[in-house]
Amino acid sequence: MSYNFSHQLLASQEFFERSTRVLEEIDSEFRPQAGMMTAAQQVAHVAQTLDWFIDGASRPEGFDLDFHAHALALEKVTSLAAAREMLKAAFGKTVAFFQAATPEVLKRPLPAGPVMGGQPVSDIVWAMVDHTAHHRGALTVYSRQLGKVPIMPYGE
């Protein structure tokens, strides 16, 4: 029996969108404290990480561990609308990857290394869903600090 991972990813996308819907473009550069990611950077980071997981699972050399370069790329993100487009594209790429993945690809071990080395490719789904949930939770705190009430993620 095969499992359709795209359903889990699409649900994660919907939960993220509902939870962060109250944030507006004017909130793009809000950050609770200096040195923290802005609201736009949080969303862009989720997009970046989805892409990072798919790339890491697809490349023979595995995951790109140059986190400094990833952070520098996020510093350029100043628009929540642009970050949301990045996230939409990243979820699209991720869902397409899993829809096209054969059982052999899903069972293939991830490249050796500090990030899930040796685990089956299919295990990146739970990591992506968990990471996305972590950042949607952070963004609900940002929303509350802005005086906004986030929507319940699991249904309105």
Q: Domain count of the chain?
A: 1
Structural domain including 119 reads: 5-145
Q: Which residues contact 99 (CB under 8 A, 6 or more apart)?
A: 4, 6
Q: What is the pLDDT of residue 1?
A: 38
Task: Look at residue 152 and tell me if it is in a domain.
Answer: no
Query: What does pTM read for this prediction?
Result: 0.95
pLDDT tens digits for range 57-99: 999 889 999 999 999 999 999 999 999 999 999 999 999 999 9
**pLDDT above 50 for 145:** yes
Q: Which residues contact 144 (CB under 8 A, 6 or more apart)?
A: 150
* Secondary structure class of 112 (helix, strand, coil): coil
Task: Look at residue 70 and tell me if it is in a domain.
Answer: yes
Task: Look at residue 51 and tell me if it is in a domain.
Answer: yes
Cα–Cα separations (whole angstroms), residue 95 to 4, 7, 127, 149: 10, 8, 14, 29
CATH number at residue 130: 1.20.120.450
Task: Look at residue 151 and tell me if it is in a domain.
Answer: no
Task: Look at residue 72 and tell me if it is in a domain.
Answer: yes
